[in-house]
Structure 1
Amino acid sequence: MKYRKIGTNPEQRREVSALALGAMLFGTVVEEERAFAILDRFVAAGGTFLDTANNYAFWINGTQGGESEVLLGRWRRSRGITDEVVIATKLGGRPKTSGRDVFNPEGLAPHVIRESSARSRRNLGVDRLDLLYAHADFMDTPQKDIVETFASLVRDGTVAMLGASNHWSWRLERWRSLADAADLPSYEVVQYHHTYLRARGDVPGRRTKDGDFGLFSAELMTYLRDRPDLTLLAYSPLLSGAYVREDRPLGELHDHAGTKARLTALHEVVRETGATANQVVLSWMIGGDLPVIPLVGASSLAQLDESLEAVDLTLTADQRALLDAAH
């Protein structure tokens, strides 16, 4: 396993595995026995970075979510896991009532941030959350209130690090400016959908009642290059199997002329390395000049093993140049 540091505060900075495991469907689609086996294999391979959210997975059974956090809490206790594994969670997207309505989220009002973070601590069985994200942006709450409330969780010791997911970059910069002006803790990790194929700019990303968020863009890349202290986590890097499964079409998001060139380059590197397309994509992300921590899901040990093996795949300079140059 390879590792990298996240965070800027020397007292809170953590070393995590270069590959993160997402637990979105653990406790619903992936039942406890299978989820525990996947988690055990990940940790045995040196994995130390897990990701969940307080609304996972409300859309499966029509609940308010939390099944994933609760399962991770049971796994932690049963295995005696303490601070050797970093668990990130998110708040803001939990539905206000049970159901499958994605347009009825809890949002980021100060009382919601405090109540939901406390619920996540209980679910996970921890006194302090390792990393807490704002799951999406909500413009119905003054951003100053959001920034101050998240910062208060760090100041009172119930959260170690902050993150922002699915925010426009100008909103990220406003968050940072508000925090800097008041000498408050700010976000140190950002999470977006990102993969090797480039997305169309005219197709919505993650949608909330306030708009569309979540697509990684060239503009966001320039922002991150200017902020090397930030860490980028990329969710859905393997496009739910679309790189390797003919029954999983790419869809509208990647329906543009540049996709063919990128896939041609990808398949050439697959041929040269003997690795799978998934593994080449993950290696490309992990070893890039803008390092990325891919966040992968797994519903079987075989899927997890494929991703774990990608960490040890090193692309040559020529292979990386071929992948980067394709348009």
Structure 2
Amino acid sequence: MNITAPQIVLGTMDFGTRVGTEQAFAILDSFVAGGGVWLDTANCYSFWADPDGVGGASERVLGAWLRARPGARDAVRIATKVRQNPLVPHSWPDSAEGLSTDAVRAGVEGSLRRLGVDHVDMLWAHAEDRGVPLEETVGVFGELVSKGTVLRVGAANHAAWRVERARSLAREQGVEPWTALQLRHSLVQPRPFTRLAEDGHRLLTADDLDLAHAEGLTVWSYSSLIWGSYVRADKPLPQTYDHPGNTRVLSVLDDTAGEVSASRNQVVLAWLMRQGIDPIVGASRVEQIEQALAARHVRLSDEHVERFARAR
């Protein structure tokens, strides 16, 4: 599925809000020292936790870290997103920026300014905007690639058919198509047809994987570790995950973790990478990102993977 081997992506959503600048710097330093490359942020992170009610804090912290670490820009790749930042403080989703030409250009300009860079390595459309013709969104994303402002483009939280339609339009326009998908995915799954509590989250589906396999698209997963629910008794799985299939999967997870001498989280990350998926991992402490990076060395056998499949 991926052009390169799957890898751990550092999610920086809480930097500048729930995670202070000093701690964020330490996490970033540890991530790079451990061989990590991709940093995932968004222009809207994290408006819901910011007293000002708008995003930009995460990008500002990353920009400050890049300035404080000579050579760091060459060591990392930066992915950011446009679509969800409130244009009016404390007014989301009513004032969320869209995916019109002007909105995307303005969103990226703001991101580059906060990051202090002249380009980003990946630009995601954070969510669909069906109020704007898809042709227009495809065109402005392609324009940014042609200018070198963005090196790759991808779609987060989009239906597979919309992604393929956008790729077809890109071919017609002769511009760079979306080549990456970002969706919510983990080892355990919520009950079918239940509504997620988190507005805007879209689960990875069989159709998404089919499209990715057929077209050679990169897939990133967010909420990969369900906010610590695999390992923290104080953060149980959301109620929508309470079903017999997950009970069986968690039992297999415990057995597998013992057999490969790894934590639950590390097995989950290794399982995702075995699927050809790049898992995004957030961290509030250095040891958390160190433990996540260690998942790259966990080797799951075909039998382990099959046991998880049979448990569902």
Q: Please tell me whether the aligned partners of residues 2 and 217 of structure 2 are also in contact (alpha carbons under 8 angstroms).
A: no
Query: Superposed, which structure 2 residues align to 1:22-37 within 5 Å?
Result: 22-37=11-26
Aligned mate of 2:296, from 301, 311, 323: 311
Q: Please tell me whether the aligned partners of residues 206 and 215 of structure 1 are also in contact (alpha carbons under 8 angstroms).
A: no
Distance in structure 1 (CA, Å) of the matches to 2:249 and 2:308 = 7
Give me the CA root mean square deviation.
Answer: 1.9
Is the helix fraction higher in 1 or 2? Answer: 2
Q: Is 1:233–2:224 an aligned residue pair?
A: no
Distance in structure 2 (CA, Å) of the matches to 1:136 and 1:163 = 11
1:315 deviates by 1.2
Q: What corresponds to 1:320 in structure 2?
A: 305
Q: What corresponds to 1:252 in structure 2?
A: 239
Q: Is 1:271–2:262 an aligned residue pair?
A: no
Q: What corresponds to 2:163 in structure 1?
A: 172
Paired letter, 1:70: R
Q: What corresponds to 1:50 in structure 2?
A: 39
Q: Secondary structure at the match of 1:132?
A: strand
Paired letter, 1:190: L
Q: Is 1:296–2:281 an aligned residue pair?
A: yes
Q: Is 1:125–2:113 an aligned residue pair?
A: no
Q: Please tell me whether the aligned partners of residues 130 and 159 of structure 1 are also in contact (alpha carbons under 8 angstroms).
A: yes
Q: TM-score, normalised by structure 2?
A: 0.94
Distance in structure 2 (CA, Å) of the matches to 1:166 and 1:46 = 28
Paired letter, 2:67: R
Distance in structure 1 (CA, Å) of the matches to 2:23 and 2:161 = 41
Cα gap change, 1:77/1:124 in structure 2, threshold over 3 Å: closer, same or farther? Answer: same
Q: What corresponds to 1:224 in structure 2?
A: 212
Distance in structure 2 (CA, Å) of the matches to 1:102 and 1:249 = 28
Q: Please tell me whether the aligned partners of residues 206 and 214 of structure 1 are also in contact (alpha carbons under 8 angstroms).
A: no
Query: Superposed, which structure 2 residues align to 1:96-245 within 5 Å?
Result: 96-99=87-90, 101-205=92-196, 214-227=202-215, 229-245=216-232
Q: Secondary structure at the match of 1:198?
A: coil
1:5 deviates by 6.6
Q: Deviations over 1:84-140 (max 9, x none)?
A: 210100000001211163443111111000011011111111111111000000101
Q: TM-score, normalised by structure 1?
A: 0.90
1:255 deviates by 2.8
Q: Is 1:65–2:55 an aligned residue pair?
A: yes
Q: What corresponds to 1:9 in structure 2?
A: none
Paired letter, 2:235: R
1:200 deviates by 3.0
Q: Please tell me whether the aligned partners of residues 167 and 213 of structure 1 are also in contact (alpha carbons under 8 angstroms).
A: no
Q: Deviations over 1:180-213 (max 9, x none)?
A: 12221111111111101123332335876xxx55
Q: Please tell me whether the aligned partners of residues 133 and 162 of structure 1 are also in contact (alpha carbons under 8 angstroms).
A: yes
Q: Is 1:74–2:59 an aligned residue pair?
A: no
Q: Secondary structure at the match of 1:191?
A: strand
Distance in structure 1 (CA, Å) of the matches to 2:176 and 2:137 = 12
Q: Please tell me whether the aligned partners of residues 54 and 94 of structure 1 are also in contact (alpha carbons under 8 angstroms).
A: yes
Paired letter, 1:135: H
Using CA pairs below 8 Å that are at least 6 residues apart, which structure has the higher relative contact order?
2
Distance in structure 1 (CA, Å) of the matches to 2:137 and 2:191 = 30
Q: Secondary structure at the match of 1:129?
A: coil
Paired letter, 2:285: S
1:306 deviates by 1.3
Cα gap change, 1:57/1:166 in structure 2, threshold over 3 Å: closer, same or farther? Answer: same
Paired letter, 1:50: L
1:275 deviates by 1.1
Is the strand fraction higher in 1 or 2? Answer: 1
My pick for the range that moved more, 63-72 or 315-324, is 315-324
Q: Please tell me whether the aligned partners of residues 162 and 187 of structure 1 are also in contact (alpha carbons under 8 angstroms).
A: yes
